[in-house]
């Protein structure tokens, strides 16, 4: 009977025994250990390379030098806009809020410890490359999807448009 009462008490107390939320300082220490600003810069570089490859593959083979120059100019503008819109100063409050909501203080401390280790630092250094390579590998899939999607959209619009 005592065990049953103890078990019931533990079950009822479980929702109140949640792990402590991390402090702002703990999350900021994690972000610093992850060197988020540099990590984002590396990802933007990889995104830029992927954008260039996708745009170059969309150009016809006989595109003029002027067309290629215009494309480079447009891509540079888009990359600058991306860096501005997705700057660390704009994203850090979002990351802080999400990490504070999702992770416990113990998890944040453990991640900070890991990312300060040589292994964690090495993983962080490779993440932009992983993201870039993943995007590169996904390009054919995305191009195929976009072609199919556009063809389907065109077909549906033609079906919906009354014939004259």
Cα separation, 82 vs 135, whole angstroms: 16
Q: Where are the alpha helices (DSSP H) in the chain?
A: 2-13, 24-34, 36-58, 65-85, 88-102, 105-116, 118-160
Q: Going residue by residue through the chain (164 aa), what tens digit of pLDDT does each one get?
A: 666 655 555 555 555 456 799 999 999 999 999 988 887 887 788 778 777 877 777 778 888 888 888 888 988 898 889 888 888 899 999 999 999 999 999 999 999 999 999 999 999 889 888 888 888 898 889 888 888 988 888 888 888 887 76
Rounded to whole angstroms, what are the CA distances from 62 to 20, 52, 59, 65? 62, 17, 8, 9
């Amino acid at each position: 009977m005592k065990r049953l009462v103890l078990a019931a008490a533990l079950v009822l107390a479980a929702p109140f025994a949640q792990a402590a939320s991390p402090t702002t300082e703990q999350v900021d220490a994690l972000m610093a250990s992850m060197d988020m600003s540099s990590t984002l810069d590396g990802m933007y570089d990889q995104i830029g390379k992927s954008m260039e490859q996708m745009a170059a593959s969309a150009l016809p083979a006989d595109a003029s030098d002027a067309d290629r120059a215009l494309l480079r100019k447009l891509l540079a503008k888009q990359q600058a806009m991306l860096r501005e819109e997705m700057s660390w100063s704009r994203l850090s409050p979002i990351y802080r809020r999400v990490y504070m909501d999702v992770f416990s203080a113990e998890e944040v401390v453990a991640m900070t410890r890991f990312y300060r280790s040589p292994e964690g630092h090495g993983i962080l250094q490779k993440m932009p490359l992983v993201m870039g390579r993943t995007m590169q590998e996904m390009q054919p899939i995305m191009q195929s999807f976009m072609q199919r999607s556009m063809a389907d959209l065109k077909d549906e619009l033609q079906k919906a448009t009354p014939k004259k």
